Structure 1
């Protein structure tokens, strides 16, 4: 698909120019990119969206020459960035002009400390030492890592590592910045801060930004344009508003719709509003609902929330008991302090909080990966101080935030079979469990594929499957949807919900407040190593001011509910709880 330049554009106005770009990875018949032509003006903020495996990351790696200079394969067509022919420019030289933040931040961290890592690029360009220090301090402040200079990179949370990876690129002051899901592991306010920083840099320094992203709400606020890629081809390009009002198009290409737009789409389908009236933000949704109620609802107010979703009923049996738990890493302030928490068997609990609040640290105490500095942790009555992780793993399944931390086998099938063989299962049962889990997770087609040839979304599902096959009584899952497209998110969450309905205790760490609101029965908010809030999602998300202290922004529909307090008695969590208001009326 060819996308022409706008009228009046000249070569010096263009930051990125792709002409008939096609690419085949080594030893593959199917093209990763197919005849892509794309022109991006300087100073624009462009968002590239599409399903996992659509070709987004492949395209980004072409922009600084990593494809084909490092990864090989066959590339045809032309790539120009900042006026330079990428095929004729070494990767190390391109780093002066184009900064690339990879999807997995850990692949970009080199230094032992935060300061060393941020300084790596300027040092390799022989920037004077005093200037390097000034650049490092200034850049760390931009990404909210001020004061972290001597912090060990190995002790950073996933979100803090993402901030550091961004800092390592920003410090080079490139003309073009390409970011592959750079905020996927950040808390909600952290995401907003990073995107605001990028947008500010774009405006002040005429920086061109190409952002690869799955998050719809973030995109609608920042993007000049959205480019949708599918099967290695560009299939749509235009303004965000046009895309996010077209719900069928979003569903067709695995893109996540805005919750408020789902309300509007329902009204549009019924012929109550024109397409252009579908809301894309909370104020517009509030105005729409008030208008519709005034026009059709006859002033009806104070509607009770529909009955909550059905879940497995938690018993009185204690699955987890945490007593006065404190923990301190070697080079830091206490990560946890005085934690007391009881989780009963069969609950679905979400742990939320800003990056570094202690969520993962707490979770790693529940299977013995970490031992308390003080206090005790009991799992199914077992004190974790008295049992090895291997013993606890028979009861507690743990899926890491980064799937690559637990994948090591040569094929997907061997990865799933490994735990079963170690647990002493016989070949017949191993085969039966493998077949069932591969089917449930949609991984059958990848049975004999090496996991590291797959995208991060698929690797995340493999990590989940390798634990599910063991049928643990308690499942701890740390950021289960990171790197997954909307279709993948729905598949993973449906699977987790099914496990919960069958009686598994679920403890989920997530920065995705929409998923927390939709699936969790209980929300525990951690802040600075302690528990700030603990309750039902409707109760917790109603406390907007308190959540702000913990860098948490309630889900979009919860915020909408808070603006409609005079109509709703309680927080509403799903679009259907809004549309049911009017659908019960006889509207012509």
Structure 2
């Protein structure tokens, strides 16, 4: 029997122009691991909330169709009853943590269902063990890392003994270590129980080897379902549905189009790709990739012996030295807590160092206030909602310009220019929070760009974005950089680093572990591992093959095709 049966499910949010779910029908087998993918706004979260009754029982709107759990409709039951059977872990772990300590948080659910005390204690012990948080019982929940918080939310749901576990983008805001922790937890759960799992995920490479079943949604409709391998071997299908392709599969697709391999040979893992390519190139030497242009020699930012912390016994950064050149596109990488954001906030005055100097464009700006530096260095927060506070898009961009006391005609011109550049003109009179997160992130960028800073710092510009949103945001950053703006980007996305950055700073425990070109840094897999960072599939493939390191997957595929003269031996 299927664990979940969805039949002709349609749902309208109040005042929405169209249905968020449109006649969705699917079956999910008991004990299986299914992944749900799709662009932002496709209806994925709405579907998940429909499976445990939150929609429509706790949210206004109109629903038709039916959801059955093991053959029984959920319509007659209260949400409180359904959630004992179906657990939902949301994208934002912190919004789901209710206890002061780890132990209290896991106890919260069973206590509300009046589970006997002795059984609650055993459930807490078992749940924490299943997510590998045993020994954390008395830890403050707020002191946990991002990955640990997400694992805690899973433990809190597991303490209710659900038969079905729904996870809504559980890794989107985590560093590579946090992602690895979550998927190791999922693997452990699958090995040691028959729980049914449905996971919403944007990361193609994380799920392809793990999932047994894949569902694709677009514009509220289920557009494809089947085995992940079949989907990711069809690049046209992947592109049509707005999904990020698996890197080695994209390389395989190029080889297939060149007539070197059949569709069924398109690789899905680095190991498969390495085996395939070895057979094609037959030990022939692969040429070096094209050289990138050298960095500008003019230093724009110089950090000298920078020290910052919360008292001498709690230093976050200790005597750091760093130079960033005019026109650089810098990526600062490292696990959560490495000091990346702390460093960036020193540069624009949001944090003041204990000692050391920050020199920008030849001037010592150490200790200057953010409002004094706003016209030199702009800062876009990871969460755009932390810096948006006006009632319209126009007013949000206007705010900084009014503080600058510019003439009205110049204000109008600048607003027009940045709204045009960020493709937000049509939203000019719209309330920011009626737009999607991607548009709100562009608005945060627009409000900073209106001040025409020489330097733009963007903190995790791709977090929580779908593939299309990532490309739009990063192409905008690329254009700005080409126009002369120095970009400093904090990110966990190594594909973005390899594609856009010209200089990479690897941080670990408040120190610079390594810096250099993307080719240099991303090739040092052992050093990256020390900082809990993983390199790209393209680099891993090159290392596996023992060939020069390529960052561009298309260039690597072209080199392989040229070596074979387009013919398979």
Same fold (TM over 0.5): yes
Write out per-residue CA displacement over residues 64-101 of structure 1, whole angstroms, 9 at most, x where no aligned residue: 22222332011111123466543333333333222222
Greater alpha carbon shift after TM alignment, 229-238 vs 364-373: 364-373
1-side partners of 2:481 and 2:394: how far apart? Answer: 25
The 1:263/1:142 distance shift into structure 2, 3 A limit, reads same
Distance 1:390 1:139, change over 3 A: farther
Establish whether residue 303 from structure 1 lines up as the match of residue 298 from structure 2.
Answer: no
The yes-or-no answer on 1:420 pairing with 2:401 is: yes
Distance (Å, rounded) in 1 between the aligned partners of 2:134 and 2:334: 20
Aligned to 1:587: 566
Using the TM superposition, give the Cα deviation of residue 292 of structure 1 relative to its aligned residue in structure 2, in angstroms: 1.6
* 1:562 equivalent in structure 2: 543
1:160 Cα offset (Å): 5.2
Distance in 1 (CA, whole Å) between partners of 2:340 and 2:553 is 29
Q: State the alpha-carbon separation in 1 of the partners of residues 35 and 144 from structure 2.
A: 28
Using the TM superposition, give the Cα deviation of residue 161 of structure 1 relative to its aligned residue in structure 2, in angstroms: 4.5
Q: Which has the higher mean CA deviation after the structures are superposed, 450-459 or 238-247?
A: 450-459
Point out where structure 1 has 5 or more consecutive residues left out of the alignment: 1-12
Distance 1:50 1:447, change over 3 A: farther
* Maintained 8 Å contact 1:319/1:474: no
Q: 553-562 or 407-416: which moved more? A: 407-416
Q: Displacement, 1:314?
A: 2.9
CA, structure 1 residues 223+435, in 2 after alignment: closer, same or farther (shift >3 Å)? farther
Note if 1:481 corresponds to 2:462: yes
Q: State the alpha-carbon separation in 2 of the partners of residues 348 and 579 from structure 1.
A: 26
In structure 2, relative to structure 1, the CA distance for the partners of 1:493 and 1:96 (3 Å cut) is same
Tell me, in whole angstroms, the C-alpha distance in 2 between the residues paired with 1:376 and 1:264.
50
Q: Is the 8 A contact 1:259 1:575 kept in 2?
A: yes
Does the aligned pair in 1 maintain the 2:331–2:501 contact within 8 Å? yes
Q: Secondary structure of 2:209's match?
A: helix
Aligned with 2:446 (options 460, 465, 470)? 465
Aligned position for 1:172: 160
Indicate the residue corresponding to 1:7 in structure 2: none
Aligned to 2:88: 100
1:81 to 1:405, Cα distance in 2 relative to 1, 3 A: farther
Answer yes or no: is the 8 Å Cα contact 1:187–1:354 preserved in 2. Answer: yes
Q: How does 1:222-301 map to 2 (within 5 A)?
A: 222-294=210-282, 300-301=284-285
**1:535 equivalenced with 2:519 (yes/no):** no
Shift of 1:35: 0.7
| Structure 2 Cα separation of the partners of residues 111 and 498 of structure 1 | 45
Paired position in structure 2 for 1:38: 26
Deviations 1:233-290 (A, max 9, x none): 1010011111111111111111001111111111111222110111111111112222
In structure 2, C-alpha distance between the alignment counterparts of 1:431 and 1:415, rounded to whole Å:
13
2:259 aligned counterpart, secondary structure: coil
C-alpha contact (below 8 Å) 2:307/2:315 kept by paired residues: no
The 1-side partners of 2:406 and 2:435 are apart by 28
**How far, CA to CA, are the matches of 2:356 and 2:72 in structure 1?**
60
Question: Partners of 1:340 and 1:114 in 2: how far apart?
Answer: 38
Instruction: Go from structure 1 to structure 2 and tell me whether the alpha carbon gap of 1:410 and 1:533 turns closer, same or farther (over 3 Å shift).
Output: same
* CA distance in structure 1 between the partners assigned to 2:442 and 2:139 by the alignment: 32
1:501-580 residue pairs with structure 2 within 5 A? 501-565=482-546, 568=547, 570-580=548-558
2:43–2:217 CA contact under 8 A, matched in 1: yes
Q: 2:414 aligns with which of 433, 443, 446?
A: 433
Q: Spell out, residue by residue over 1:120-142, the C-alpha distance to the aligned partner (whole angstroms, 9 max, x if none).
A: 33443345667656655665565
How many residues align? The count is: 566
How has the CA–CA distance of structure 1 residues 406 and 113 changed in structure 2, closer, same or farther, with 3 Å as cutoff? farther
* Cα displacement (A) at 1:335: 3.4
**Cα contact 2:400–2:451 (8 A) shared by 1:** yes
Distance 1:246 1:375, change over 3 A: same
The one-character-per-residue Cα deviations of 1:335-378 (angstroms, maximum 9, x if unpaired) are 33443322223222111112222222222222222233454444
- Of 81-90 and 416-425, deviating more is 81-90
CA distance in structure 2 between the aligned counterparts of 1:343 and 1:172, rounded to whole angstroms? 51
TM-score computed with the length of structure 1 as normaliser? 0.88
Alignment of 1:208-227 (within 5 A): 208-227=196-215
* Corresponding residue SS for 1:306: coil
Which stretch of structure 1 is more off in the superposition, 130-139 or 385-394?
130-139
User: Paired residue for 1:328?
Assistant: 310
Distance 1:125 1:420, change over 3 A: farther
**Residue 538 of structure 1, CA deviation:** 1.4
Mean CA deviation greater in 197-206 or 250-259: 197-206
2:61 aligned residue: 73
Q: 1:171 to 1:406 in 2, by over 3 A?
A: farther
Answering whether residue 349 of structure 2 is matched by residue 365 of structure 1, we say no
Task: Deviation per CA, 1:296-342: give whole Å up to 9, x if none.
Answer: xxx5315112122x58x534233241524232389x95433443322
TM-score, normalised by the number of residues in structure 2: 0.91
Moved more, 530-539 or 337-346: 337-346
- Residue 193 (str. 1) matches residue 193 (str. 2): no
With over 3 angstroms needed to count, the CA separation of the structure-2 counterparts of 1:329 and 1:478, relative to structure 1, is farther
Q: In the TM superposition, what are the counterparts of 1:354-433 in structure 2 within 5 Å?
A: 354-380=335-361, 386-433=367-414
Per the alignment, in what secondary structure is the counterpart of residue 493 of structure 1?
Answer: helix
* Gaps in structure 2 of 5+ consecutive residues: none
For 2:274 and 2:34, locate their aligned partners in 1 and report how far apart those are by CA, in whole Å: 28
Q: Which residue pairs with 1:341 in the alignment? A: 322
Residues 476 and 506, structure 1, Cα contact 8 Å, conserved in 2:
yes
Once residues 80 and 378 of structure 1 are traced to their aligned partners in structure 2, the CA distance between those partners, rounded to angstroms, is 63
